[in-house]
Amino acid sequence: MMVTMTRLGILAFGLLAFGLAAMTAGGAGAQSARSSPELSADRMQMVSCLSQSGTAASSCIGSVAVTCVRTASGDRRAAEADCARREEAVWRERLTFASVAVMRNADGGARGQFAALQVAWEGYAAQKCAFYGSMQPSARVAGMQAGCMLREVASRSLELERMVGQRSPVRRPSNPPSIIR
């Protein structure tokens, strides 16, 4: 049984690594095309919004994208899609860090479940956003899909960040009770 759990733990970690690679693949292209100062500014804007939002962290979803669209010139629809992907890159980084923290705090069986859950979640989000995009006129597909992925990734990131924040370390008593025989 121990060998199976060890193999399961290795499999779970592999699945999570694969899932994280798949999750960050969409954001990686956007990040590589962006300059480091721009990405840093987006991160700082998100951190600022989250620190000011208190318990309403979901109110920050879209904050980078909205600012980006307002300052963009040219085709508004293209800007909406590009700006949504730009913010999604920031949320995907946060999602990756939160996923690693969940894996670090979980035992072998829970790691396997979490890895499978993340892979399934990524598939669900991709299918959901493709469906929503397919329901739109062709000129709006890219923007609707990008906006949907932004919301899905941001929501999942916040969910995992809450989960990690709620987990408290196990405290050992300074004077453990002794068993009297």
Residue indicated by tokens 């899905």: 152
- pLDDT per residue as tens digits for the range 57-87: 999 999 999 999 999 988 888 999 999 999 9
- pLDDT per residue as tens digits for the range 24-43: 444 444 444 455 788 899 99
Can you spell out the DSSP letters for 159-175?
A: HHHHHHHH--PPPPPSS
Overall size of the chain counted in residues: 181
Can you spell out the DSSP letters for the chain?
A: -HHHHHHHHHHHHHHHHHHHHHHHHHHHHHHHHS-HHHHHHHHHHHHHHHHHHTT-GGGGTTHHHHHHHHH--S-HHHHHHHHHHHHHHHHHHHHHHHHHHHHHHS-HHHHHHHHHHHHHHHHHHHHHHHHHHHTS-GGGHHHHHHHHHHHHHHHHHHHHHHHHHH--PPPPPSSPPPPP-
Q: Write the CA distances from 48 to 4, 59, 114, integer angstroms.
A: 45, 12, 29
- What is the distance between the alpha carbons of residues 29 and 26, in angstroms, rounded to a whole number? 6
More confident residue, 23 or 164: 164
Q: Report pLDDT for 4.
A: 41
- What is the distance between the alpha carbons of residues 102 and 161, in angstroms, rounded to a whole number? 9
Q: Return mean pLDDT, the chain.
A: 81
How much is the pTM?
0.74
